[in-house]
Structures are given as C-alpha cells and as structure tokens.
Amino acid sequence: MRSHFKFSLSDMLRQHRRWEKTIAKAVKVTRKALVSTVSTKPSASKPAAKPRSVAKPAAGLQEVKAFGSNPGRLRMFRYVPAGLPKKSPLVVVLHGCHQTAEAYDRGSGWSTLARERGFAVVYAEQKRSNNGNLCFNWFRPSNVTRDRGEVMSIRQMVAKMVSAHGIDRKRVFVTGLSAGGAMAAAMLATYPDVFRGGGVIAGLPYGAARDVHRALAAMKSSPERAGQEWGDLVRAASPVTRDFPTVSIWHGTKDHTVSLSNADALLQQWLDVHGLETAAYTQSDVDGHIRRVWKDASGKVAVELYLIDGMGHGTPLKPRPASRVKADTPGPYMLDAGISSSMHLATAWGLKKPQLLSALKQAAE
C-alpha cells in the first residue's frame, strides 16, 4: 500500500523531538507565570480600584517620613514585598555604630529574606545629630525608658507598619548589632508586650550603663551583677509580668570591641526573666559553632546562645553562591563566619518560605 504521509519516519521523529522541547519550555514559562500570579494577583472578591499601599512593590528600602511624634529623632525605612498579605510578620532591624540602614541591609540580607519568605522589615536609622558615630544611645536612660526617646520612636515605627500594612501584632521581632544589639535588648525589656522574640548580636544587657563613661567600661567588661539583679532591671522596665519574648544571643569568641562577658550577662538576665536554670541547657554544633538552648516548661525554646568561634566584632554571615540572589554580603562589621545569623533567626521565628510557592519555584527552575 502506498503511504499517504508527506514526511518520512525520520522527519516525523525530528519534528516530534522539536515539539517536546517546545512543550517543556511552555510548561516552564507557565509555572513562572503561576508563581507571579499567586504572589501579586488581588482577590477577586474585592475591588481593585484603590489598592492598599501593602500591594505596592518595593525596589529597596523606602523612607517613611511621618510615623508619630518621633521623640528619639530617628529615621524610618521599610521594605514591604509586593503583594504582602495582611497578618504578615514584621522584623525590626537596628544597625551598629558607623553603619546605615542600607549598609546593614546589604550585609545582613534581611530584605532578601523578607522577599523570599513573606514578611516586612523596618529599619530604624540613627542620625549623626543624635550621635556622632551613628550609634543608638542605648546607655542613656532618656532613650531606653518605655514611651520615651529612641525606644518610643522605634515603637511608633511598629505601630505605623501595623496600621499601614496590616501587620500581625503577635509576630513582631527585633534584632540588632552592637549598639543596635544593645538597643534591641532595650526594646525587648521596655516593650515585651510588642515583641515576640529578639536577636541580640554582639550587644549588651539592658541596664548595663547609664552614661558614656560607664558604657565604654561595660563594653570592655560587663558589670558584675547576680542573675536576679539583671532580671530585675527588665522586670522594672515595663508593666508586663509574664509571657516575655524569646531571646537569641550571638557573640564572637574573639570580639575585642564588646567583651564576651556581655553575652554571659545577657544570658543571665534573660534566664532569670524566664525562670530558667543556667545549667539546664542542651548543646549542639551548628555550622561549626556552639549553640546552647534553654527551653521553657512547655518545651519551647526561650533563650539560646550562639558562640561564634574565632569571630571578632560583627554580624556573622554565610554568603550565598554567586548563582543565587545575593544576601549575607561581607563588609565592615559584616563577617563571613560560615553561619548566617539572619537565616537562623528568621527560621527560629517561624519565618519560613511558603511550601506551595517554594515548590512551584523549584519546579520552574
């Protein structure tokens, strides 16, 4: 019988292989489009004529000029991923001395994590008119007393984010480096009703100093106090009497700017606040560094300590491969230690990449 086909069998096989490649490419493009639609498409049940500011994309940190009375005269910067839904978490980040919000974000990668995992970020930035070295004034009572000074300004930034972006009040966290770490400790002490958890990196305990002279002395060696004395300083800082935030303490073992003794003082302070015994911890190795964990009666982590072996003064980073979106970028006081404090803090706080979105993205790659 004579064949009615115009092409030979080999021609048909070649054409079939070309179609397979075309279909595979189309599937990849469709998956990427689906990911984009899931993250940016507004709800069909609501009118799209007047989108909320929460839906606006953010190319980088954006300054917010008006956020309250701002008694501490700080600057506010925010990063809100495009299409961030209501009831999303918030992380407040406080830079160290000689740093800016942008520089700390570039090094720590918090905005990158926010975009990947679906939360908002606020940076408080110090002004040189307040402190010549751009340090937060963690040692001045006027700036670390509840509803006064710099702590009040940072509290107002949180309130602004809650009202403007529908942030989940029960999932607000704070972290900082050095002077920013000491200020993070002050925020946890003065507003334990606002923050669910905090990360203090190369910082000092709340109440370690009350003026510049004693601040410099405390940086060299933390004041000697019993755990209860340290705990009393936190308990006296706010009207809250229970449900204190979780605390994660990070410190380099070779830090010659802020003595390692401050990590121990911070530990004693928050163990006393949570009513935990110093010796009641479990220890593990994380990326080559020591992690000690203290759990509460329910079995949840209340306090943890990371001792970064051989690291000096700075935020510990673990830079990503060049093929991936940049985060954890080394720089001044941003140190490649083979461990990412930002990543571990985000994970500990439950700020994880949505499983469906992650699966779709991986399938599209």
User: How far is residue 332 CA from its own chain's centroid?
Assistant: 19
Task: Determine how β-strand 197-201 pairs with β-strand 282-286.
Answer: unpaired
Greatest alpha-carbon pair distance for the chain in Å reads: 103
Instruction: Compute the distance between CA of residue 347 and CA of residue 351 in angstroms, rounded to an integer.
Output: 5
| Residue listed under structure tokens 């949570």 | 274
Alpha helices in the chain (DSSP H): 9-40, 101-108, 110-117, 149-165, 179-190, 212-220, 227-235, 261-274, 341-348, 355-364
Of these residues, 178, 222, 259, 340, which one is catalytic? 178
Pairing of strands 172-177, 197-201: parallel
Residue 75 β-bridge partners: 125
Residue 178 is among the residues annotated as catalytic for this protein: yes
The token pair that represents 132 in the structure block? 């010549």
- Give CA angle at 362 (356, 365), nearest 5°: 140
Measured CA to CA, the distance from residue 236 to residue 226 in angstroms comes to: 16
Hey, which residues are catalytic here?
Answer: 178
